Structure 1
């Protein structure tokens, strides 16, 4: 006979959002069960960021000559690089260990679960009848339907980091964030890289800023092919072959490895959500602004829910769920203002409305720009290519911001506050930042709003008039 648990809250999924809910609920005094399944630290953003960090070190060695540092060409010890990735994962896993969770009062079940009915989840020989459920099962790589692909040993962002050596020629299908991040990282590690995208790179980002990233990829040796389709993937002995359809003719590219980076799809099937009366489609589980599913006892957050697929989105949604599930509040998840970052070099960061969205929503807008080349720190570091763009409505309220620059993911932080709090641009122009620092570009962009007024003929006339009084 199976054991029956009756907690206040049962969390399904041990990723960023699931852990945040489970730990938060336990610390708030709720009896909590966490059905973890697989550990997302073993794939996705953690190992990819660790790989990117290693590749950046190799790039810095290669560029050191410009500073008068005569370094030998960087040699890549791939075994040590893999150990670096494992070390990062191990260091981060400590905070999410079963021992720590149990010490906090969380009952941990390391098995997959599925619904039996609207109020019961079964996992192994345990049935969980919780007052509230939170689904946070994450996502898995989306595999496009391409002739021959299923018959070859392709890679994804979950299997790429298991390679024992750097690919000789990595062919990447997909020009989204994962595709271009891995393209740049691997070319810096010595691989030949071909990046194939059916549309254009990063279609959700500002085209002008994407051009900056595209130019850097070209400069570093990534072959970028846009506006084409992959017609077929074949294994040719020890090599792989991708056939390209341009719409006018076909040609092929041979390489050593194929990485599929075509986005991700929600992990839903094993949950059997239909038995719990939970509506879903290929985009994920449908939720309302309070993150409730069609079964009001069940919430869904993160990649499994319809919406943005970012770890920080899941963390924000976890806060909303805790308020609603435990305190009976009506907190809402406002995902429209969620920032996102692509971790290339330069990084590409955005928050709020894009230029097109702002024109549709607010009509007349003001667009502020400031090039990174005007920044002293960027010149000191010999990395002056980049741009910040700020979008204001007709009242001078900040509605959006985009940055292409080294460290853009951190430079965007004050603009997240500005957009979410609807600050006027004057508040940003009044910031005092240390010198020399790349964050000065934010202040300079904000100050440029007043340039035409401050240095106008009228202002000059006023200064001349006041000078008469000594």
Structure 2
């Protein structure tokens, strides 16, 4: 049995773990990194990267079929589903070197290609190696949650971990789950020529603003995606190519393929956490606002910490841990400034409170300012006028923003910046946006906050008249 002593031990080479490892080693810490499966984790291999690549294929197919509005003839796209998957694989392969063993060993990280499990509060065994570390970071991520639906274990089904290996285009894809993964894959597959049915037990995209979600749902339905809400899957039966999902209310949905996309579960089973005195909850590992577990020498970050499950959250957590575990500085994580985006078309983005959350927290005090895409000149020029922005404002400062429309994921960054730095609406209004850009939507939303104060105020009008009489 080999023994290693190190400053920082990172368990898991996904987004968060890689960020901790690279940051810590470049600052001079000794770092050991464990990964028993694929470097890059879920995001690179099964999540963010392949899904966005497949969405790009769907976007290209849709553009061919809807070009006449730009004076270009519509054509029926000739979709090669296997070639689209080749595109996905090529994108993964292009990014993979950034997350590779070779790159991290080149930085000075000792990479061990084994799973790790705790054998004490400071030691982890990986294969035939025992690592004792001053600080340990658990970054093992999450996996698809497979619900105990009767019959599911008797039929073939896909998750995000197997979907991108599928080479033959589904004739009719049934998707159980109407969250971001389910809705993104529904639209992408519809655009690539599949029939698609989304089966959701409650409301789709339930964490987002209902008004903005409705615009996404209307668009997907216009494109031919069947969306069944309030349809709780009660039984699954059939065989490959002929699958049925029966819901609690008696509805039956038939398709050729089944994708399970009902959520994620934290990867904790292999870790033997009890040996290290680390407590868990139903969502994952229990952490405090410093991301420390119930073992003060051990941190948990990203999906496994049981909070928001986004790659950029894992990266943010990594920064908190580097500040604390590497530099010994105080650092606490918060969530109020964390944005997220669902990459449908139109995109759906959120940061901070939704309108409903703002009302619940502050009553009638928040103001909600809006601006419609149909009044943005760039959106008009590109025929992308479906969408709006809503900003929730309390005492002159934004406390949340909801955006649905073209480039919503890009636009939300400004509001994430504003919330992270406690900025005022006046600072947003002072920004000069280039014309014509979709980015003017943000500027105009800020203007919508000040317009009634300037143009509808009797006192402003009186002051202006007085100044005009005074000016030479």
Q: Which interval holds the TM-score relative to the shorter structure? A: over 0.9
- Within the alignment, does 1:335 sit opposite 2:356 as a pair? no
3-state SS, counterpart of residue 219 of structure 2: helix
Residue 152 (structure 2) aligns with: 149
Residue 467 of structure 1: CA displacement?
A: 4.5
3-state SS, counterpart of residue 198 of structure 2: strand
Residue 208 of structure 1: CA displacement?
A: 0.3
Residue 139 of structure 1: CA displacement?
A: 0.5
Q: CA distance change for structure 1 residues 105 and 228 in 2, over 3 Å: closer, same or farther? A: same
Report the aligned-residue RMSD. Answer: 1.4
Alignment of 1:204-215 (within 5 A): 204-215=207-218
Residue 267 (structure 1) aligns with: 267
Q: CA distance change for structure 1 residues 237 and 100 in 2, over 3 Å: closer, same or farther? A: closer
TM-score (norm 1): 0.96
Residue 437 (structure 1) aligns with: 437
- Within the alignment, does 1:234 sit opposite 2:222 as a pair? no
Residue 359 of structure 1: CA displacement?
A: 2.6
Alignment of 1:48-197 (within 5 A): 48-197=51-200
Residue 187 of structure 1: CA displacement?
A: 0.3
3-state SS, counterpart of residue 284 of structure 1: coil
Distance 2:111 2:319 in 1: 20
Residue 277 (structure 1) aligns with: 277
1:265 and 1:282 in contact (8 A); partners too: no
Between 103-112 and 446-455, the greater mean CA deviation after superposition: 446-455
Residue 372 (structure 2) aligns with: 371
Residue 45 (structure 1) aligns with: 48
Residue 403 of structure 1: CA displacement?
A: 0.4
Residue 449 of structure 1: CA displacement?
A: 1.4
User: What are the superposed Cα offsets for residues 120-139 of structure 1, whole Å, 9 maximum, x if unpaired?
Assistant: 11111111111111000010
Q: Number of aligned pairs?
A: 465
Residue 54 of structure 1: CA displacement?
A: 1.1
* Structure 1: gaps (5+ residues): none
Residue 427 of structure 1: CA displacement?
A: 1.0
Residue 9 (structure 1) aligns with: 8
TM-score (norm 2): 0.96
Distance 1:204 1:346 in 2: 17
Alignment of 1:327-406 (within 5 A): 327-363=327-363, 364-393=365-394, 395-406=395-406
Distance 1:87 1:6 in 2: 38
User: What are the superposed Cα offsets for residues 153-205 of structure 1, whole Å, 9 maximum, x if unpaired?
Assistant: 11001100111122100000011100100000000000000001111111111
Residue 357 of structure 1: CA displacement?
A: 2.5
3-state SS, counterpart of residue 275 of structure 2: helix
Distance 1:351 1:327 in 2: 29
3-state SS, counterpart of residue 340 of structure 1: strand
Between 212-221 and 361-370, the greater mean CA deviation after superposition: 361-370
1:37 and 1:110 in contact (8 A); partners too: yes
